[in-house]
Structure 1
Amino acid sequence: MAMNMHVALPLYMYPSAGTWQPLYDALNKNPQVTFDVIINPNNGPGGSTPNSDYIANISMINSYNNTNMFGYVHTSYGNRSLTDISSDIDTYQSWSTYTNFNITLGGIFVDESPTSLDYHNYMQTIYSKVKSTMSHGNLVWTNPGVPVDSSFYKIADMINAYENTYDHWMNQGGNSSIPQSVRNQSTVMLHSYPSSTHTMASDVDELVDAGYYAGLLIVNSQYSSFDSMWPTFTSEVGQSNANVKC
């Protein structure tokens, strides 16, 4: 049975005036779609609390019922110390104690996750840290960016199993690279999407029908801005989810 696919969004652009407005527009126009939004102030949380621009905009996102907020950490593919990663997680948790605005998070996004089973214990430690530390939402979303051994799915709530260009995805067989059995915990982020394409509806339908937890089709390759296809993509996710036959 296909599930309602979420929109995966690495929100890596600075929240200067109006910059995040396309997200707010999409949230308003697609209340039936859940948006999983990743916040990354400074290659991680930065200081103990984010600056006033981040505080205002994170609070705004939290005012919507159809969002999940994730704090960004990275592992440098297993080369970063667990102490530093743990410190980042502690900082994100401390945001929940901020009283003037609601800047609590629902989980942690672990970027540059290693793929080798040699790092299974390393990733288990991060998973356990998030689960024991984050008091208002402790989802663990890892990003190896490629399909990984199924054992990693036992120490993550979601895994971003594909992050590459749209053309690479199509050339590699698309859905065939990710086993059906793990797609309900898998997300895919496809960038460099052709802005002139007329296949957005069918591309979204394929992702939804495949049963992914969340997906993204975006023109921008660095997630540094919203693009002309963003409203179309988010609208198509809502329409495709509504058309799912259970």
Structure 2
Amino acid sequence: MTLNMHVALPLYMYPSVGTWQPLYDALSNNPQVTFDVIVNPNNGPGGSLPDSNYIANITMINAHPNVNILGYVHTSYGSRDLSDIASDIDTYQSWSTYTNSNISLGGIFVDETPASLDNYDYMANIFDKVKSTMTNGNLVWTNPGVPVDASFYNIADMINAYENSYDHWMNQGGNSSIPAAVRSKSTVLLHSYPSNTDTMASDVDGLVDASYLGALLIVNDQYSSFDSMWPTFTSEVKQSNANMKC
């Protein structure tokens, strides 16, 4: 079975008027593409509910059928107390009980996750917490940002196995950095993409051909804005997915 590569998006910008519009346009223009979108109100959920701008804009995202919204939590590379992480997960789950709008989430994005097997039980605890708590969707997407032992894929639905600049990715061998056996559950976030490049189509084709679950090629290295390459990238994912089915 051929898998469609998802668009992976850390949506770390505040939803002031019009800021998230490029995402809504991409969701509408590429209905065959699944978008995995991370929201991060305050280095985590913040208060019990997000503010009115987040409520309005998350509701707009949820109106699209081709998107998974995941709430951001972090582990500080394994040093953060599990009780604090559990509290964040409980808060995100509480969003599903909000009755005025649909701000429910499809899972949790766990950032700054440790890559050492010494932390396997720690990560397993987070996985179990998400699975037992989130009721609307309980995807677990972790972000060590580097390739990890294959056993970690037993306690995650998705692992972001590479987060670095596009040049670093190419210098490290690109797709060869991540074993083929785990790519169907792996994502890659490649920032500092050259905005004047004419290789976007071939770069996306290479990621789709390599069978990654999801990817992002973006100019902005802080995920703080949508850049000029965003529409091109999302369109190329749609086209490359379609070509793989031909």
Q: TM-score, normalised by structure 2?
A: 0.99
* Alpha carbons 1:2, 1:209 under 8 Å: kept: no
SS of equivalent residue, structure 1 residue 167: helix
| Superposition deviation, residue 2 in structure 1 | 4.3
Partner of 1:7: helix, strand, or coil? strand
State the distance in 2 between where 1:221 and 1:9 align: 12
Quote the residue 1:18 is aligned against.
18
In structure 2, the partner of 1:32 is 32
Q: CA deviation at 1:32?
A: 0.7
CA deviation after TM superposition for structure 1 residue 237, in Å:
0.2
1:173 aligned residue: 173
Aligned length: 246
Q: Indicate yes or no: 2:234 matched with 1:234.
A: yes
Task: Report what 2:197 is aligned to.
Answer: 197
Provide the secondary structure at the position in 2 that maps to 1:151.
helix
1:187 aligns with 187
Give 1:245 shift: 4.1
What amino acid maps onto 2:41 in structure 1?
P
Match of 2:5 in 1: 5
State the secondary structure of the residue aligned to 1:19: coil
User: Aligned AA for 2:157?
Assistant: D
* Residue deviations 1:96-137 (CA, integer Å, cap 9, x gap): 000000000000000000000000000000000000000110
Distance 2:64 2:205 in 1: 25
User: Which residue identity is paired with 2:231?
Assistant: P
Normalising by structure 1, what TM-score? 0.99
Equivalences for 1:30-109 in 2 at 5 Å? Answer: 30-109=30-109
Runs of 4+ in 1 over 3 A off after TM superposition: none
Q: In 1, Cα distance between the equivalents of 2:2 and 2:215?
A: 14
Partner of 1:208: 208
- For 2:138 and 2:193, the matched residues in 1 are separated by 31
Distance in 2 of aligned mates of 1:69 and 1:156: 16
RMSD, matched Cα: 0.7
Cα deviation, residue 3, structure 1: 1.6
Percent same amino acid at aligned positions?
A: 79
User: What are structure 2's unaligned runs of at least 5 residues?
Assistant: none
Unaligned runs of 5+ in 1: none
- Larger relative contact order (C-alpha < 8 A, sep ≥ 6)? 1
CA distance in 2, matches of 1:59, 1:26: 16
Q: Report the CA distance between 1:77 and its aligned residue.
A: 0.1
**CA drift at 1:63:** 0.3
Secondary structure of the corresponding residue to residue 244 of structure 1: helix
Supply the AA of the counterpart residue of 2:241: N
